[in-house]
Structures are given as C-alpha cells and as structure tokens.
Amino acid sequence: MTLKFTFFTKPSLNIMKPTLLILAAGIGTRYGGLKQLDQIGINGETIMDYSIFDAIRTGFGKIVFVIRESFKKDFNEKILQKYKCIIQTEVVSQSLNKLPKEFILHTKRVKPWGTNHAVMMGEEVIHEPFVVINADDFYGQKSFKILTDYLKSINKKQNNYAMIGYKIGNTLSKNGPVTRGICKTNKDKFLSSITECSHIIRSDGGKIICKDYKNNSNIILNENTIVSMNMWIFTPEYFNYSKKLFLDFLTKNLNSLEAEFLIPSVINQLINEKKIKIKVLETSSKWFGMTYLKDRALVISEIENLIKKNIYPKKLFQ
C-alpha cells in the first residue's frame, strides 16, 4: 500500500478524526544527534514517517509535531514538505521559557521540562481526541489499529483514556539500558499505577533486570511484564488537568535544574484522585527504536524485513 497525494482544501473537514501528536523535541543525548530526523528507510524515511503512514491508513486526520525552535528550518525542509499534500499538519515548539506568566525561568536551567510539558504545547491546535507518541520509536501497524478501534468504542467520552501496553521482552535494546514505565493494572485491565525504571537491561543469563537505585537492589522482571512506550490516547480536557498540575510542579521545582514534568507522574496523580481511567490495551507488536547510535543498523534491518513482508511499501508517500 502506497499513499497517493490528496490535496486538502478544507482541513476543517478532518476535525472529527483523531490527531497524532508526535513528541519530536528530544536532544538525543545518548544517540549523539537528532535521531528524529535520521533517515533509516530505503527512500530516506524516518521512524516517525512509518508511524504517520500507519496513522493515516487507520483514519487519523491531522499530525501535530512538537519540536525545538532550533531545528525548525531543517524540520520544515526534511519532514513537513513531504506531507503538505497528504494530511493536515501543525508544528508547535517546546521551549524552556513556555511557563505560566507568574514563573521566571532559572537562568541555569537547560534541561527540557519533560514529556507532559511537551504534550501541553499542542493545546492551541488540538480540539479532538488525540494520540501521543515519541518520534524515535517504532510502534507498528497493529498498535495503531488497536488505538483507532478503541477510539471508536469510547465515542469521544471525556476522562476515558488508554495506553498501548507492550511486553517488556519486546522492547529492549541490545546496546545498553533503557527506561520503561512499568504498569500495574486491575482485574479489568485499567491502569492502577505506572512506575518508571530508568535502567533496564537483559543480563548475560537472559533475565530482564530493573536496577532499583533507591533501594540499591535489582528487580527481576517477567518477559511479559507490561510497560508503557509513551503511546497514549487522550481527549482535550487532558490539557486542563496538565495546566493545573504543572502549576503545582513549578511551585515545588522551579529552581531545580533537573526535575521533569512527565506523563507518568501526571497519570498517576489523576488516577489516584479518581479523575480519569486508563484502559491498558495490550499489543503483541515488537518495538524498536534508536536509543543508541548502534541501534540504527537494527532499525534499518527491521524496516527492510517489514518491506519484504509487504507490510510497508518501499516508498511510503508518492
């Protein structure tokens, strides 16, 4: 399947379709560069091109990119141009000084405010149900299909969110530790809590180990432990929750140079306050991404295999 050019003269007609919000403002410290712009497909496609392809063929109507202003020019030239006749797009910028007016940025702060701050950047251009993903993660067609089926079932109900849950054994890198949100669910598969582990590896003996630095111990995880890969379904009132909680966060952390306003922390608080429910939609899809530069060769190989199986065409957009 190859997507043909379709000219959009009335973008407003797409307002009832879900939006894909792509977090593409990362610095890529461990990777050593802007991995969200790295070309890994046969015709120069990026990882997020494959996510966008899957989103379009499962019924999304708009793509919103969250980027940093510093690479806006490159982004427009390398990414946006290919979509201008295919799907409606919006670009918003995440910057450190995008704070409520009563707060003044610490002069030594250089670290971004985190994933939930990035999500908040989409408020002005998103007025419909939306899905959040990372730019540098490959999620798979099956996961997008699960999402869109769920969106149809909730029929835009507020406070009924969802996340795609991956088996942790399908989400590891061979080239170093990864960070994952480890999920606990109730009997009805609604999220009870999500705990971030920043150092998960597979040992030489094959066991999956989460290093618990706080308690100076190792936690052994089952292969089928469900984790979040930052693939969420929200509806627009999530922005209101986020703004309120960001005020609380800044009151406590404005002078911190490291504290981040992360999606899991917001989700945990809203669940504890019984304001929202998060349905965990499990997928058998295999994740892959570019945490480290050495991951790149594996990503290229995986994409080539998917093309050979006719899951993706050689050229995504023409």
Residue indicated by tokens 């990882």 = 47
When divided into structural domains, the chain yields a total of 1
Residues in a beta bridge with 23: 66, 134
Question: What are the tens digits of pLDDT across the range 36-85?
Answer: 778 888 888 999 999 999 999 999 999 999 998 887 888 888 788 888 88
Residue 291: DSSP 8-state: S
* Measured distance CA(109)–CA(208) in Å, rounded: 35
Question: What are the tens digits of pLDDT across the range 127-168?
Answer: 999 999 999 899 999 999 999 999 888 876 889 899 999 999
Question: What are the tens digits of pLDDT across the range 183-220?
Answer: 999 999 999 999 988 899 999 889 999 987 777 788 99
In a domain, 254, yes or no: yes
In a domain, 2, yes or no: no
In a domain, 316, yes or no: no
Question: How many other C-beta atoms can be found within 10 angstroms of the C-beta atom of residue 250?
Answer: 19
> Whole domain around residue 237: which residue ranges?
11-308
pLDDT score at 75: 83
In a domain, 314, yes or no: no
* Measured distance CA(258)–CA(17) in Å, rounded: 37
pTM, rounded to two decimals: 0.90
In a domain, 210, yes or no: yes
CATH of the domain at 71: 3.90.550.10
Element (H, E) at 301: helix 295-308
pLDDT score at 80: 85
In a domain, 289, yes or no: yes
In a domain, 5, yes or no: no
In a domain, 170, yes or no: yes
* Measured distance CA(80)–CA(90) in Å, rounded: 9
Do you know the residue count of the chain?
A: 318
